[in-house]
Structure 1
Amino acid sequence: MSSCEFGSQFPLWIQTQKDVSVLDLSNATISGGFPIWLHRMSLSHLDLSSNKISGNLPTNVAEKMPRLTTLLLGDNLLNGQLPNSLCKLEALEVMDLSRNKLYGEIPRCWRDTQWFVVINLSDNKLSGTIPHSVGHLSYLKRLHLDKNNLTGELPVALRYCKELELLDLGENNFAGSIPTWIGENLSSLRILNLQKNMLNGSIPPQLCQLRKLQNLNLANNNLREGIPRCFRKLIGMVMEKVPGPISEQAVAPSASEPAVTPSTSEPTATPSASEPVVTPSISETPAYAPKPEDDDTNWNREKVRQVTKGVDLEYTKMQLKLLDILDLS
């Protein structure tokens, strides 16, 4: 029933249904608070995205809907804090709460018994640091935390999310240096967005170990020095040109260049300021993720926005597989 215009209220006949496992009322012009009658339906898939639902999320959402595997509430008017009961939804694989008015800190109670594949909390008003308990989510493939007010350094615990394909932390207030463990531990990364933060220091050559990387954005930080020469080893990309103030010699092949080897050292902050590195940016489009076993067939559902020479272009992931770009303008 997606895109059906029901008016501002949920239809009464829906509220009386039972034994419903999938409910899609996205883009249905519905307003009002989060419906308390949903627990009668035995839902596994709930999509109420792109409406005008307001108010707080229920604090007992795990008790009311314990079978949920997909929760899509993006592009609404939800406010308040994220309830800790989200950590108790052990069947949940996809959670999209993007483009709301949620505030406060991200819950710190995530556990290794959870099956999250996608978490999208982008474009809210969340603050504080990324909790270390996120490192327990070993099945996580896509983490969208962009466009919030998050602070601190990137937590080392993220290195345990070894299945990550997309890490979007852009447009926050993260500080410190770019961690070496991103390149050493997150070998499945295809998209890395760290734009518009307060990161400093140099670009670690360990990023060159990300052989599957297709989209890298480090723009508008306080990074210094040039581009590591080993960036030519990013075989997931095709780089046609390096325009702008950064010297082309910074990425030119060199026979004497030392090989990049994994490091066991932890990241440290090195305060400095210099030219930003400008690369493609990630759009705010919510992520609709499949289960792990059919992930590759649905990768094209997400979108990537790329700004090249002032032209704003948007590609689906299917197009991105054919158009691998590193823009260092």
Structure 2
Amino acid sequence: MEFGINKLVGAVLATIFNVSTLKIFGASNNSLSGRLPSSPNIRLSNLEKLHLWDNNFSGTIPSFIFNASKLSTLELQMNSFSGFIPNTVSNLRNLGLNDNYLTSSTPELSFLSSLSNCEYLEYLSFSDNPLDGILPRAIGNLSQSMENIWMSNCNSSGSIPDEISNLTNLIAISLEGNKLNGSIPIALRKLQKLQLLSLKDNQLEGSIPNDLCRLVALFELDLGGNKLVRFIPACFGNLTNLRNLYLGSNKLTSIPSTLWNLKDILRLDLSSNFFTGPLPSEIGNLKVLVQVDLSMNNFFRCC
């Protein structure tokens, strides 16, 4: 049963959720509002997919949703749900909860531990929720099938745990816009399939580890808005799949000549660092650039 993109308004009828044979229900990208029905008598024993993203739902997420034993896809993002993310979740493959007002029942983000019971979980999105917790080591216990983790702008703190490198099938991870501190873990080198890594707008310190050069599948790397120091690793010039590189607003001081070997790079941001010297003529090697920002440094044009 699908009602997506029809500009429906009003509340979801409780009678829909009393259809015990219901397998798929979709009403995304409408103007539905109010609270979801939460009667303890609701039993959705056959529900496999629930798509309600981009509406105006509010209130807590009813427990019956998480008790649907066959539920594999739950998309409730871009609403106004509030309350705790439950600690009793199983069987999910895709979970989208971003852009709500959800939080964790504990500072250790205990819901992540419960999600480790989801053997085939591939996709997680909690971005733009006030989780207000410490990124725990338990994140490394998530499913080995995990491919996408989106936890940006969640007001999360602490360091990035080495255990995240256990998720060797990760393709994308975004932890941007949090309060993460410490250094960039060298253990990230184990994520050989990673195509997107965004750690921007945190409080990360130290130098950029050469170990990131092991991530040869990287398409986008964003480390901007931190407190990273010293030089850009020379081996970045070997990341031939890289198309977007953002290192602005750090405390970097040295650009390796090998960086200009990235002839297929599209977007390059080195702004607001401490680079000095003549504006590198080798930048002309980057024939397909569509966006470059070298502002707020101490470059000068050579004679």
How would you bin the TM-score normalised by the shorter chain? 0.7 to 0.9
TM-score (norm 1): 0.71
CA distance in 2 between partners of 1:49 and 1:171 (Å): 23
1:128 aligns with 2:158: yes
Given that 1:230 and 1:251 are in contact with CA atoms closer than 8 Å, whether structure 2 keeps it comes out as: no
Given that 1:19 and 1:40 are in contact with CA atoms closer than 8 Å, whether structure 2 keeps it comes out as: yes
CA distance in 2 between partners of 1:34 and 1:27 (Å): 15
Q: CA deviation at 1:324?
A: 5.7
- What residue is the counterpart of 1:190 in the other structure? 219
- What residue is the counterpart of 2:77 in the other structure? 49
Deviations along 1:221-252, one digit per CA (max 9) or x if unpaired, are 11113x21111211321589999975555462
CA distance in 2 between partners of 1:36 and 1:112 (Å): 22
With over 3 angstroms needed to count, the CA separation of the structure-2 counterparts of 1:95 and 1:239, relative to structure 1, is: closer
Q: How does 1:219-298 map to 2 (within 5 A)?
A: 219-225=248-254, 227-237=255-265, 247=277, 250=280, 252=282
> Which stretch shifts more, 111-120 or 143-152?
111-120
Q: CA deviation at 1:42?
A: 1.7
> Which stretch shifts more, 170-179 or 243-252?
243-252
1:75 aligns with 2:102: no
Alignment RMSD, CA only? Answer: 2.7
Structure with greater Cα Rg: 2
Higher relative contact order (CA 8 A, sep 6+): 1
Given that 1:79 and 1:100 are in contact with CA atoms closer than 8 Å, whether structure 2 keeps it comes out as: yes
TM-score (norm 2): 0.77
Q: CA deviation at 1:18?
A: 3.1
1:206 aligns with 2:229: no
- Structure 1 gaps of 5+ residues are 254-321
CA distance in 2 between partners of 1:85 and 1:174 (Å): 28
- What residue is the counterpart of 1:181 in the other structure? 211
Aligned match for 2:124, one of 95, 115, 125? 95
Aligned match for 1:8, one of 17, 31, 34? 34
With over 3 angstroms needed to count, the CA separation of the structure-2 counterparts of 1:24 and 1:238, relative to structure 1, is: closer
Given that 1:165 and 1:188 are in contact with CA atoms closer than 8 Å, whether structure 2 keeps it comes out as: yes
With over 3 angstroms needed to count, the CA separation of the structure-2 counterparts of 1:19 and 1:238, relative to structure 1, is: closer
With over 3 angstroms needed to count, the CA separation of the structure-2 counterparts of 1:150 and 1:162, relative to structure 1, is: same
With over 3 angstroms needed to count, the CA separation of the structure-2 counterparts of 1:12 and 1:177, relative to structure 1, is: closer
Which protein is richer in strand relative to its size? Answer: 2
Q: CA deviation at 1:8?
A: 1.2
CA distance in 2 between partners of 1:127 and 1:241 (Å): 26
- What residue is the counterpart of 2:49 in the other structure? 22
Amino acid at match of 1:32: G
Amino acid at match of 1:28: N
Amino acid at match of 2:205: A
